[in-house]
A and B are shown apart, each in its own frame.
Chain A
Amino acid sequence: MNKKLLEQLKKIRQDYFNSPGNAILSLLMLFLLVKVGIWFISWAFINAVWTGENNEAARPGGATWAFIIKKIRFFLFGFYPKEHIWRIIVTVALMGASFVPYFMKRIHHKVLVFIAHMIIWPLIIGFFLAGGIGLEQVSTNNWGGLSLTFILSALGLLYSFPIGILLALGRRSEQPVIRILSTVYIECFRGIPLITILFMSSVVVPFFLPSGVAIDKIIRVVIGMTFFQSAYLAEVIRGGLQAVPKGQYEAADSLGFKFGLQQYLVIMPQVLKITIANIGGISISFIKDTTLVLIIGMFDLLGIVKPLASDSNWLGMEPEGLIFAGLVYWGICFAISRLTYKIEVKANTLPAAGVKA
């Protein structure tokens, strides 16, 4: 036996078997882990059913993945009419393609690209997904599944960033009115649970709208989520602002930069770099928060599990549906987490902001 293995065994004995009580506890935990592991593997893989037309295919002690495979269209696109699904794919593809300018070296005014995004994305979504002009209208009640999750997350993050930055600057403003308004906004929306905001947007807001005026549920939800998220982002960005030394402002001042350009060219790049990890984390929680829309009757990736498992052919398929949805959420969040980490590493190979006086 080699020496390394012996040392590891010795360490295991020291850490887990250093007293009779600990030894019993360790063995018990090991036993449970193995037991659960074996059960899960046999349920998810060995006894699993991958094909079938209804829940008669199900086998006791095994997952019926056939349910997911049969219903994958609904998990991805909700109750969007089958013949129009290409419109969702085009929308998502266009939204993805609109990131290309950020990677182009020649484009200097990336902030303008961002503003263009804020205008173009709703137009793409309105034209292709909602339809009405040239394309057949599809009610937003039929939107759902992963594509709804994607759209809600994307729009929520898109709008909450600039608003969050403005709020953070507002809270540090020397103008008392701006400072107080920003503070009140931030504290209000951070103090209200997202569910409450969503309920208000779906129940209370229509009540106060003049009759004949209707704002679509999706728009109300996106606005509500933006209010909520921008307040959180504002605080993260404010933390970053506090980390930029005063000398940076003075140097920019002394070169003749006024407030706007100073923030854009000197301060914000440093702030965003400091806050990358926090912004990544907050983005992940925003994406997970979109699941709350199921409370107000929207069928996002999580919300659609229940109606699908109520199909008389597939009764009792909630566990498979929920596990699948969970895996997809985990995959998305893990990808963002890795991406954030990569950006952070890349940014840190450049010198850290503000260090070295």
Chain B
Amino acid sequence: MTAAEVKETAAPEATGNAPIIEIRDLNKWYDDFHVLTDVNLIVNRGERIVICGPSGSGKSTLIRCINRLEKHQKGDIVVMGLELTEDTKDVSLIRQEVGMVFQSFNLFPHLTILQNLTLAPIWIRKMSQREAEKIAWKYLKRVNIAEHALKFPSQLSGGQQQRAAIARSLCMQPKIMLFDEPTSALDPEMVNEVLDVMVTLAEEGMTMLCVTHEMGFARRVADQVIFMDEGKIVESQSPDKFFSEPENERTRQFLKQIHAIS
């Protein structure tokens, strides 16, 4: 699959007004454990969604279903017009368009930061090394770690590694970015440097789904804040409403706990 073909596949979506992600009646089980129950979610192009909720509420599982790191058992997930099914070809096509940032960074330890960034563009987008490096440097500068480009991941701090991981995803020039608790594994003083990068990204109009408890971030960039509990979307609101007058009792309790901590 060449880069041109990928673009062609994605092209009809790029101009349309259809939602970029549609999730309908999503259900997922781990053996007998019902992780996600009847989840419905529509994400439009350029929309920023923050998902929060207590641990075990299924929020990470939900976004991992969007690039099929997790398989769902019932319901439909349509990403950029392609439905996620057992067909692996579609899955890797979608993964190329959906960037993901993990809690534990997951940089490739045997490669330098620069190589981490160029690996997928070279091998999957079939870019030349020069072209891939050009893009890589652009994003390295954007996330402010250009001076560490030739180091290995383990030589960087957590915050630097997470910024590198964000840059690695961006090098594939994705249409959607998924963030799975990107700041949870970081020392407190490094949280902001990562959030700043995410805010910039949001301001540039990237479609983003972030699982995070950084409520300041949610307030600042989110179009929609979703609260999940026990595998269900309990509440979905604009940030203003979500923080000032949450409708659901469980949301109120959760917010109270969060505020008690921070």
Which residues of A line the B interface, CB within 8 A?
Answer: 245, 247-248, 250-258, 261, 265-266, 269-270, 273, 350-357
State whether B152 touches A255 (Cβ < 8 A).
Answer: no
- A351 touching B102, Cβ below 8 Å: no
Which of A247, A257, A269, A351 interacts with B106 by CB under 8 Å? A247
Q: Does B192 reach chain A (CB closer than 8 Å)?
A: no
Report 25 cross-chain contacts, Cβ distance below 8 Å, ordered by A residue.
A247-B106, A250-B100, A250-B106, A251-B100, A251-B108, A252-B108, A253-B95, A254-B67, A255-B96, A255-B120, A256-B124, A257-B92, A257-B123, A258-B88, A261-B124, A270-B109, A350-B110, A351-B110, A351-B152, A351-B153, A352-B109, A352-B154, A353-B109, A353-B110, A357-B185
B106-A251 in contact (CB<8A) = yes
Q: Which residues of A contact B95 (CB under 8 A)?
A: 253-256
* Further contacts, 8 of them, CB under 8 A, given A245-B106, A351-B110, A351-B154: A248-B108, A251-B108, A253-B67, A253-B95, A254-B95, A255-B168, A255-B169, A352-B154
| Cross-interface CB contact of A257 among B98, B99, B124, cutoff 8 Å | B124
The 7 closest A-B pairs by CB, nearest first: A351-B154, A251-B106, A256-B96, A254-B100, A247-B106, A255-B120, A256-B95
Contacts of A270 in B (CB 8 A): 108-110
Interface residues of B in 57-80 (CB under 8 A from A): 67, 69
B 81-121 binary contact with A (CB < 8 Å = 1; else 0): 00000001000110110111010111111100000000110
B102: chain A residues within 8 A (beta carbon) = 247, 250-251
**Interface size, chain B (Cβ < 8 Å):** 32
Tell me, rounded to whole Å, the shortest Cβ–Cβ distance linking B4 to chain A.
Answer: 16
Q: Is B155 an interface residue (CB 8 A)?
A: yes
Most chain B Cβ neighbours within 10 Å, of A250, A256, A270, A357: A256
Measured in the bound complex, the distance between the Cα atoms of B109 and A245 in whole Å is 11
The verdict on A351 contacting B120 (CB below 8 Å), with A247-B104, A254-B67, A254-B98 known, is no
